[in-house]
Structure 1
């Protein structure tokens, strides 16, 4: 094998790597500071005043969506499990068809800042907004776990940080920078960070892909043959069943994972909130088209990068390194480009984490400040300054919890953790969004049953699943109270939410507001009255 070798505990030049890493942080902090002059109103802080174009927002959407799970987790999953790891890429990409066809334009026309605006449009405000805020906070927290775990892996590798204590310190620093982005920049600053990050990320993966293919004479077959030869699973890494399908349980787990990935994106609060940063529904739809195009290039590249890591680094070295599967892309970067490329890739991965966590944080804090504080506590009479102040305070609290959760989840595959967040989003939000937009009889009781039923069942199943206990890879591996065999609960919790929403509606004596339902139908399709 040609090229430099990255041995355990050796990462070339930590000073050079740190300099590249620090340069990105300084540049993005400067950008956030420069664009943060107008964050006095809620429209500016939550939605950047709706001034971004469809192209800008689409690139930012891809920056928001292409998280540590995509760059680190999927590359690692492909490097170790081959074909089955690529299934994450397919699920994440196909999911955007639901957004394009059913969600983007209608949500943009109906709401103003948050998902709660859409769900509460024709329902009783207080209970529905409380449910929407609860759902947003839970989903954002689980999504943040993945990003923080990825931060611990990549920066620990970059700086050669060994041990849990050192990685915990790294996660804390990541959280602190992310909180600063949100406090100072609001949605506008966060969006520009995401645009910069997405552009650099796409450029990085495309160049790595071209270099890898060139190394094998632009023969994908030659690359795959070397990947199989350097993987402990051999030829099986090129076939379905390396991770899923060996038993009925793993087969069912795969179906559950696929459902969560494909249906979850349409219920992610931080994705839905991005549709409010453009001036109209046409630009919202154009945003999705740009996002899909950008992500198609990226996910195609992950296939080459993942198998390239298996071919040039080897599955054994990846699993023995700091960060395990999540280190596949940085290790490959060192293999083909030495310390300079390692520093660049690690900085890009870190930028990915910062941008996504900042987007999640501003979404969660906006939901609490707008739905809970402004519309429940102050009954719609909160002034803009106090609402933004509450949002900023909430961002700090959420950031602290994300840091603690990231430390606990450190070592888990980040793609797997994000898949859990998708399951929560599909279970809690998708059914209620679709019912609200398309079913005139749907009422407040159905909304609450659907959201709490889906969210509660998902939480319960995850708690008693191998994710938390009963397996060597569990978050708490020393105890075993596992009752549910599947790692992803989507196949149960998603239907539960649809059934609960339906039963809550038809069994309650509450009558839907027909006039409001008609108004919502016209507004969602035309934008009139927004």
Structure 2
């Protein structure tokens, strides 16, 4: 078994130096390009980006720590079953391309709440949309901040949960600073730069790995099997999800969440407002899909390459466990300097995603709750932006605490949970609002709250939280739901409750607003009015 030494302590200074330089450069970029004008400038960069720019930024927003760290680690450890994350994350873009992007861009302004409340009662629907957005954002951010903490812990050779907790707190503070300094424009440019660097990095590592094994993928796979306890089983389904009928069902549940979740992710939906029209929104999705596809092909080589050169046992023994596969591979093939560069790119990946998430959640609270529910529209742009920045601070602190709780969990798995929440709470409501004329306020509230509530309840009482050695609370057991991902139950619950609420509710359908929404969704006429 090939088990290289872990990163020596003396390399921490070089790693940290490369890392710090990168952070300072990106902070400077955010400060220089950020808008300091109206709420439209802060939240959606004045809708000034082209489809190509926004598409690359979308991929930057989407290719998170789960993609770069979590999936590479999952492939190195479980082989075929780990690559299924990549397939789910990629196929999911079809939902946005065919059903969501254009109509959402035409019927909203800043947030998902704009779309859902267009022809409904404003205050309860906006409050529900904001609650959903905040819940999904915090879960997603917990995964990203935990990944960032594990990455920096690996750089600094920090072992033990207490040390990693301190690292997560420091990293989270840096990330909050980015959002407070700049708005959507600064965040978008960081995402564009990060996406380009990430794609370049994974492409170079992929080419190097293939070259090292004589450009024979078969040879690389053979070495990966030799350095994995599961041997050749990593080339077929079942290492992680084929142990029993229950784990197979868990995989089906995870797949539903991955494929359907992106259509309800608030930070992805918000990016459609940063372009001037629906045509550019569609172009954004096409660009993002191609970038994501190239990236995930590279992760297949990187994941198996990490198993071949680093060894699964060495990966699992490192700080961050599975999430350390890509950084350890970088150290093995390029030494301390390449590790520092890859770690900086990975950190930029997490940084860009967290900035986008924080901005989305703060915009939802400030625009939907503060401006439209509490103040009923009687508010100026400066006050909304101030509330958004304060909200970003609170959300950041909550995510840091959550990130400390989930130390050691696979990031791709945690993001899968966020996708389940998004698919359960948001997708059904968005599709009904955009395509079902009879859908009303009661149906909207039932759909959002039933999906959000059922998903949260099932996760709390699942092996994710208790009852398993790899649970968040392994010493106790109050789990009654056997699956780790609740999507197979919570997603249908949301769709069904939306239908029941619509037929039971006595809300009258505003036919004039419904007709206006249909015209806007299909043509874009009047889509930026108001």
Distance 2:242 2:503 in 1: 39
How far is the alpha carbon of 1:246 from its aligned partner? 2.1
Unaligned 5+ residue runs, structure 1? none
Residues 254 and 40 of structure 1, relative CA distance in 2, 3 Å threshold: same
- 1:478 alignment counterpart: 475
After TM superposition, what 4+ stretches of structure 1 lie above 2 angstroms from structure 2?
A: 5-12
Give the Cα–Cα distance (whole angstroms) in 2 for the partners of residues 23 and 78 of structure 1: 31
Report what 1:456 is aligned to. Answer: 453
The residue aligned with 1:7 is 5
- Alignment: residue pair count: 527
Structure 2: distance between partners of 1:113 and 1:351: 25
Q: Which residue of 2 aligns with 1:327?
A: 324
Which whole-Å deviations, capped at 9, do the CAs of 1:88-133 have from their partners, x for residues lacking one?
Answer: 0000000000000000010000000000000000000000000000
Q: After superposition, where does 1:339-378 map in structure 2 within 5 Å?
A: 339-378=336-375
Cα distance in structure 2, aligned partners of 1:375 and 1:509:
24
Alpha carbons of 1:375 and 1:526: their partners in 2 closer, same or farther (altered >3 Å)?
same
* Length-normalised TM-score, structure 2: 0.98
Q: CA deviation at 1:8?
A: 4.1
Q: Contact between 1:50 and 1:276, CA under 8 Å: does it hold in 2? A: yes
Match of 2:29 among 4, 28, 31: 31
**Equivalent residue runs for 1:1-400 within 5 Å:** 6-8=4-6, 10=8, 13-36=11-34, 38-400=35-397
Q: How many Å separate the matches in 2 of 1:367 and 1:44?
A: 15
Q: Give the match's secondary structure for 1:245.
A: coil
Instruction: Please give the secondary structure, in 2, of the residue aligned with 1:62.
Output: helix
- Partner of residue 467, structure 1: 464
Task: Provide the rounded CA distance (Å) in 1 between the counterparts of 2:523 and 2:171.
Answer: 42
| Counterpart-to-counterpart distance in 2, 1:56 and 1:185 | 18
- C-alpha distance in 1, partners of 2:509/2:213? 63
Q: Distance in 2 between matches of 1:453 and 1:512?
A: 22
**SS state at 1:244 partner:** coil
Matched, 1:411 2:404: no
C-alpha distance in 1, partners of 2:167/2:319? 13
CA–CA separation in structure 2 for the residues paired with 1:493 and 1:330: 35
Output one character per residue of 1:36-77: Cα deviation in whole Å (capped at 9) or x when no partner. 2x3221100000001011111111100100000000000000
Separation (CA, whole Å) in 1 of partners of 2:7 and 2:466: 30
Displacement of 1:176 in angstroms is 1.4
Distance 1:123 1:288 in 2: 28
Q: Match for 2:398 among 393, 397, 401?
A: 401
Q: Distance in 2 between matches of 1:11 and 1:439?
A: 60
Which secondary structure does the structure 1 equivalent of 2:184 belong to? helix
In the alignment, the residues of structure 2 paired with residue 72 and residue 44 of structure 1 have an alpha-carbon distance, to the nearest angstrom, of: 32
In the aligned structure 2, how far is the partner of 1:469 from the partner of 1:7?
Answer: 34
Structure 2: how far apart are the matches of 1:13 and 1:235?
35
Structure 1 residues 285 and 11: CA distance shift in structure 2, 3 A = farther
Contact 2:258 2:416 in 1 (8 A): yes
CA distance in 2, matches of 1:216, 1:97: 35
Aligned-partner Cα distance in 1 for 2:171–2:387: 22
Instruction: Write the distance in 1 (CA, Å) between the matches of 2:355 and 2:272.
Output: 17
Distance 2:7 2:96 in 1: 44
Q: Distance in 2 between matches of 1:199 and 1:172?
A: 28
TM-score (norm 1): 0.98
**Is the CA contact (8 Å cut-off) linking 1:146 and 1:418 kept in structure 2?**
yes
C-alpha RMSD of the superposition: 1.1
Post-superposition shift, 1:222?
A: 0.5
Alpha carbons 1:61, 1:274 under 8 Å: kept = yes
| Deviation of 1:160 (Å) | 1.1
Please state whether the residue corresponding to 1:13 is helix, strand or coil: helix
Change (3 A) 1:6 1:160: farther
Structure 1 counterpart SS, 2:130:
helix
CA contact (8 A) 1:182 1:395 kept: yes
